[in-house]
Each structure stands twice: as C-alpha cells, then as structure tokens.
Amino acid sequence: MNNKNAVERIEYELTTFIRRAVYIDNSENKIGNLERASYLILRQLDEFGPARVKKLAESFKLDISTLSRQAGALEGKGLIERSSDPSDGRVSLFTITELGREKLKADKKTRLARYQKMLETWTNEEKELFGELLERMNDVF
C-alpha cells in the first residue's frame, strides 16, 4: 500500500470513528451522563489541577468564549468552582468540586467499561499501540 492509500485509509477510518462516536453521544446508548465537553473539562481539571480559562481553551483548541460558556454551565451545576488566581487576583481559576469528582468518576467508570468491552478481543500490545498512536495524532492538532 503506498503512502497516499495509507493516508486515505486513516482519513476514512478517523471520519467514520468520529461519526459513530458523535452518534453514540447523541443517542439513547450515550456513554455516561455528562456531555462530552463537560467530561473533558472535568477530566482535565481532575488530572492537572486548577486552571485558567485561557489555559483550558488552549488545551482543547477552543476560543475563550466557548470555553467560558461551558465552564459557566459546569459552575452553575456545582461541578466546578471559580476562585481568584493567587498570582494575579484579576484572573479566575477553575477547580473541580467534590460533586464534580463524583460525577466524573461515575462517568469514567461507565466509559471505561464500554471501551473495555469494545476492545476485549485486542491484545494488550494492540491496545497500547492504539493508545500511543491516538496520543501522537492528538499532539499534531
């Protein structure tokens, strides 16, 4: 298979994968209770700690207004809280709350179980390689 065909295959498979993931996310078979954007923000704050809106927006390649709107919705539900950045009181930091951690933990458990089932026939080496390649692809964006 020449390079062009390999790239075409990757493009097609990624497009199909994304389409199916969006379909599942919007169907009755949705994984967990959190919307994808909420899940990702909570996961980021849980894993890396408090963050400024600008930093969160940059990590997801979103504009600040989009991220602010999403964070505001999470704050309204009590899943994250806003506080002043100790290094610059004019800037806000977002932190995940205990309720946010509980919701994230439940959703993550559901998501991991779904992916575990989807990948149950794969070897550990195949799963490791797939994870490495997906991480590498995400780093390009």
Element (H, E) at 140: helix 124-140
**For the chain, which ranges sit under pLDDT 70?**
1-4, 28-29
Which pair of structure tokens corresponds to residue 132?
């490495």
Cβ burial, residue 37 (10 Å; 0-12/13-18/19+): middle
Q: What is the pLDDT of residue 2?
A: 58
SS3 25: helix
Q: What is the pLDDT of residue 21?
A: 82
pTM over 0.85: no
